[in-house]
Structure 1
């Protein structure tokens, strides 16, 4: 970092992480360069080794307290940053954006549905991203298994990979859900709008924990830009960001997502949400 400062002589330094950002902040102060902390997550909770998280939290706090400016992407993260010591007068909210041209709701949906053998009368639930253990998809898959005979046209399309992938595959095999749960694996970002268009309802069924409590995933903006209704668990960050009657429907827990979906389909209420 010291060499980069000497070579490039930046007018401002922006940090996104923990350790490298803390060091950059210290060096920026020493060099008299303004430092901006751009906060998009509760970063210390993402440290893989739990025993190191307290150290990460201390570094995160010190960086927040000593930055010239702190930029956050949602209201709950602003609250969090201030609680961690960021000066309220130097903490600014700049909401995350989405490429409206890329996530065009008028994209053709037939190619993806044909590729994955999705029939015209199938109703497709959609999830994309890293499959965390706390993502709630385990509960969604098990609930689909319970109603597979009553709701034969309800399917789950999962784009991504991660910690839960192997377990979801086992659920698929155990309950004979090969035609109900569709895995695509990781896909190029430019293809995501096609997968979204092929779906009918998008999901963010995560558990409320220290990682998810304050966040608003970019995927929710992308879901909505594609014109899709969203069912999410009642996470404080998400609920504060979108409120109610704005395209996001809330379930109290991951185990309530499928039940709420079926109810909305039967009541004909989904069309009002997208």
Structure 2
């Protein structure tokens, strides 16, 4: 029996590591029920990738900025129209932030072939984005909720926030979160030495917006303990990392350049606990950090701020050590609490992994999304 066709249109840069992980992991699993075809953008290199057994297709983005952005903008309609016409899909799944013009174009062409269109919301505009960014985001989401067949959200918190903040009409919706490949991210065969007590944060930008300047400052409050922090990312704001030198923490905080995603599990396994210092703001509150599930899958307890994105996963869990806010003092207090329980970490880490296996694998998220999409067939 032929599987229904699903055209996944990702207005994301697939050569960015985290975007690639989400897309390829989910499509591999969705391919059990759908014949999935993926088209995406890229920043520097159009990688030769397979998604669900088919090659990933790209928009034309050759040339220099701003010319490559203009070429992508111009080429997108013709590429999407060709894909819809050549293999008419049952469902078109639109991820991230296309323009209203593009949403209308996709809907118009979908209707020609009787395809349902679903819009996916993964993140809000960042704290540094201006009010215009929110207006554009709001207008896209309003259009999708009124005219598309449905909307999916990254968390229940995101769904509630968007409905209230943007006054969305009643619409069919579902939630699928971030996940982890628990076969790749797994506990180490050989545990790290007991000392020093090693903390890890990886991915994204080392920035104040992520609370990493205050995490570095927190290390100054635990100088009496043998604790070391590793921050993995080549993207670094000087305003954040300057605290390492200012507080003379060079022997306690190590900066590591970005590494291939395949090497991340080994890095995590060499540490005792993962730490997420994200501050209280709408973008983080509604998020679903992949790194949280990667730490848990590797059997690491986690230290985290008490924002909804963390509480909704970790509340009441003995392997979670909460900082009451993102201040250096609160983060330091949570680090001390975790340090005091380090003899229980093997037991706590096993509990963290058990929760991931039950609720937070890519398989479980693919089941959620697949069930929602199959309701249209």
Alignment of 1:84-95 (within 5 A): 84=166, 85=168, 87-88=170-171, 90-95=172-177
- Per-residue CA deviations over 1:99-129 (Å, capped at 9, x if unaligned) read 011101135466xxxxxxxx75101111011
Aligned to 1:27: 105
Aligned equivalents of 2:107, 2:265: Cα separation in 1:
43
Alignment RMSD, CA only? 2.5
- The verdict on how the C-alpha distance between 1:102 and 1:5 changes in structure 2, with shifts beyond 3 A counting, is same
Aligned to 1:257: 331
* Offset, 1:182: 0.6
User: Per the alignment, in what secondary structure is the counterpart of residue 336 of structure 2?
Assistant: helix
The question of 1:58 aligning with 2:139 is answered: yes
* Offset, 1:137: 1.5
Aligned equivalents of 1:161, 1:86: Cα separation in 2:
42
- The verdict on how the C-alpha distance between 1:95 and 1:243 changes in structure 2, with shifts beyond 3 A counting, is same
Aligned equivalents of 2:320, 2:146: Cα separation in 1:
34
The question of 1:220 aligning with 2:220 is answered: no
Aligned equivalents of 1:259, 1:144: Cα separation in 2:
10
Residue 232 (structure 2) aligned to one of 159, 168, 180: 159
Aligned equivalents of 2:123, 2:184: Cα separation in 1:
24
Aligned equivalents of 2:153, 2:123: Cα separation in 1:
9
Q: Give yes or no for contact 1:70–1:86 (8 Å, CA) kept in 2.
A: no
User: Per the alignment, in what secondary structure is the counterpart of residue 202 of structure 1?
Assistant: strand
Alignment of 1:103-118 (within 5 A): 103-108=185-190
Q: Give yes or no for contact 1:74–1:94 (8 Å, CA) kept in 2.
A: yes
Please say which of residues 237-246 and 191-200 is displaced more in the overlay: 237-246
Please say which of residues 55-64 and 120-129 is displaced more in the overlay: 55-64
Aligned equivalents of 2:146, 2:310: Cα separation in 1:
26
Q: Give yes or no for contact 2:303–2:338 (8 Å, CA) kept in 1.
A: no
- The verdict on how the C-alpha distance between 1:212 and 1:241 changes in structure 2, with shifts beyond 3 A counting, is same
Q: Give yes or no for contact 1:75–1:240 (8 Å, CA) kept in 2.
A: no
* Offset, 1:263: 2.8
The question of 1:188 aligning with 2:284 is answered: no
The question of 1:245 aligning with 2:317 is answered: yes
- The verdict on how the C-alpha distance between 1:64 and 1:249 changes in structure 2, with shifts beyond 3 A counting, is farther
What residue ranges of structure 1 are gaps of 5+ in the alignment? 111-118
- The verdict on how the C-alpha distance between 1:269 and 1:75 changes in structure 2, with shifts beyond 3 A counting, is farther
Residue 149 (structure 2) aligned to one of 50, 65, 68: 68
- The verdict on how the C-alpha distance between 1:45 and 1:265 changes in structure 2, with shifts beyond 3 A counting, is closer
Residue 214 (structure 2) aligned to one of 139, 147, 166: 139
User: Per the alignment, in what secondary structure is the counterpart of residue 78 of structure 1?
Assistant: helix
Aligned equivalents of 1:187, 1:86: Cα separation in 2:
43
Q: Give yes or no for contact 1:15–1:24 (8 Å, CA) kept in 2.
A: no
Q: Give yes or no for contact 1:202–1:228 (8 Å, CA) kept in 2.
A: yes
Aligned equivalents of 1:186, 1:87: Cα separation in 2:
42
User: How many residues end up aligned between the 2 structures?
Assistant: 260
User: Per the alignment, in what secondary structure is the counterpart of residue 273 of structure 1?
Assistant: helix
- The verdict on how the C-alpha distance between 1:55 and 1:214 changes in structure 2, with shifts beyond 3 A counting, is same
User: Per the alignment, in what secondary structure is the counterpart of residue 294 of structure 2?
Assistant: helix
- The verdict on how the C-alpha distance between 1:34 and 1:226 changes in structure 2, with shifts beyond 3 A counting, is same
Q: Give yes or no for contact 2:200–2:271 (8 Å, CA) kept in 1.
A: yes
- Per-residue CA deviations over 1:116-169 (Å, capped at 9, x if unaligned) read xxx751011110111232211111211212432x12x211101113353x2343
Aligned equivalents of 2:343, 2:194: Cα separation in 1:
20
Aligned to 2:89: 10
Q: Which has the higher contact order (CA 8 A, sep 6+)?
A: 1
Q: Give yes or no for contact 2:323–2:333 (8 Å, CA) kept in 1.
A: no
Q: Give yes or no for contact 1:201–1:228 (8 Å, CA) kept in 2.
A: yes
